[in-house]
Amino acid sequence: MTDEGARRRLVLVLARHDAAGAAPPGVDPAAFARACMADTYEVAADLVDARSGLVGPPALDELLWPGAVRLDDAGLRPLLAACAALADEVVLVPADAPDLPSLVLAKQLKVLHRSDVAVAPERGGPGVVALGFRLPVAGWLPLEELDLDTDPTALLRAAAPAADLVQTTPDWRRLRGPAAVHHLDPALEGWEETRALLSGASR
């Protein structure tokens, strides 16, 4: 097993899980989705001892920090296969969580040295706010049935050959509908792009 200090960690934000549907009246959905994705990515990029990246089209390259990666979204199995050449652990994050605390991602990375998969549930919703994998991906994982919009905890626990191979970590909210913006906490640091866009729209 890889020594904890030498583990290669990767956190990827998936652009297709965007916040366009949560844009409030008067705010362009595409601009809102882009701002939320930029803020979500900023959280990933700020992590210490982890590489960050975006999964989506080449147009996203302008958002990337130096040394970050961009991968095409070709489905979960090919994505994880590509990640296995870059990292020992990967955490997938939807692009609609602009005020995500870095602690949520840090907790995912903390447990992946002793489990095959980690799930951070979506607070108040049906999906996940982070889904982590130890790489190369374990053969028992039902990858074709996994998606960030559905919490797979029960499915994974039923499929796992040992209970400790599946870990759950702290939850957080996603912006998946117009009412969700009211849950953004102005006291939390970060989410500057989203904050600025909403502030401009309210003037």
- Does 202 score more than 90 pLDDT? no
pLDDT-derived band of residue 4, with 50, 70 and 90 as boundaries? low
| Structural domain contains residue 26 | yes
- pTM for this structure? 0.95
- Rounded CA-CA distance 102/48 in Å is 10
| Structural domain contains residue 201 | no
Residue numbers of the domain that contains 49: 4-194
Number of domains in the chain: 1
Which pLDDT score is estimated for 199?
85
Which own/partner pairs from 40-43 qualify as long-range (CB within 8 Å, at least 24 positions apart)? 40/13, 40/93, 40/94, 40/95, 40/96, 40/97, 40/98, 40/100, 41/13, 41/95, 42/190, 42/192, 42/193, 43/97, 43/100, 43/101, 43/102, 43/105, 43/190
Which CATH number belongs to the domain containing residue 95 in this structure? 3.90.550.10
Record the tokens describing residue 148, joined without a space: 């960030």
| Structural domain contains residue 141 | yes
Segment 83-119, tens digit of pLDDT: 999 999 999 999 999 999 999 999 999 999 999 999 9
| Structural domain contains residue 15 | yes
Question: What is the average pLDDT across 11-29?
Answer: 96
| Structural domain contains residue 200 | no
29-46 vs 192-202: helix crossing angle, rounded to 10: 150
| Structural domain contains residue 187 | yes
Segment 120-146, tens digit of pLDDT: 999 999 999 999 999 999 999 999 999
- Does 201 score more than 90 pLDDT? no
| Structural domain contains residue 93 | yes
